[in-house]
Amino acid sequence: MTVKDAPGGYTDFHPRWYRRPMPVFWWVRRRSYLAFVARELSSVFVAWFVAFLLLLIRAVGQGEAAYQRYLDWAANPFIIAVNVVALGFVVFHAITWFNLAPQAMVVRMRGQRVPPSMIAGGNYLAWLVASAIVIWIVLA
């Protein structure tokens, strides 16, 4: 079909837009990109933790022997290694999440914006309190 014949004077085929191809591993080139991907990957370890927690709940529900088997399984060096890495990612998630909170929450009090450092501080305080409660409940 020529340009003249086409409805509206256009062909059905327009040129493909030029897009610079991006390498799959574009994110290893810069620290900030790597931090972005590390933050995204932390979600995988959050999901792993849920699986790990559900196995614990199941074992606790099944009784004393199952709980002991769970503790033995969790003491396997490979599982410990996975959990140490997971802990690193989850703490990274928590820190980056709380640091971002002031940007997501703009709180005003008496017409004044509450300073971002106070909002971040409040989040860290909540983290401390929640962690203390968890540890107290588990160990009490």
- Burial of residue 92 (CB within 10 Å: 0-12, 13-18, 19+) is middle
Q: Which is nearer to another protein, 1 or 87 (CB)?
A: 87
120 binds another protein (CB under 8 A): no
What's the DSSP call for residue 112? E
Are 21 and 28 within 8 A, CB to CB? no
Residue from 6, 11, 29, 43 touching another protein (CB under 8 A): that is 43
Q: Compute the least distance from the CB of residue 73 to another protein, in Å.
A: 9
- CA-based end-to-end distance of the chain: 81
Are 101 and 121 within 8 A, CB to CB? no
84 binds another protein (CB under 8 A): yes
User: Comparing C-alpha atoms, which of 53, 26, 32 is closest to residue 96?
Assistant: 32
Residue from 1, 60, 107, 125 touching another protein (CB under 8 A): that is 60
Task: List interacting residues with another protein (CB under 8 A).
Answer: 22, 24, 27, 37, 40-41, 43-44, 46-47, 49-54, 56-58, 60-64, 67-68, 71, 74-76, 79-80, 83-84, 86-87, 90-91, 93-94, 97-98, 104, 126-127, 130-131, 134-135, 137-139
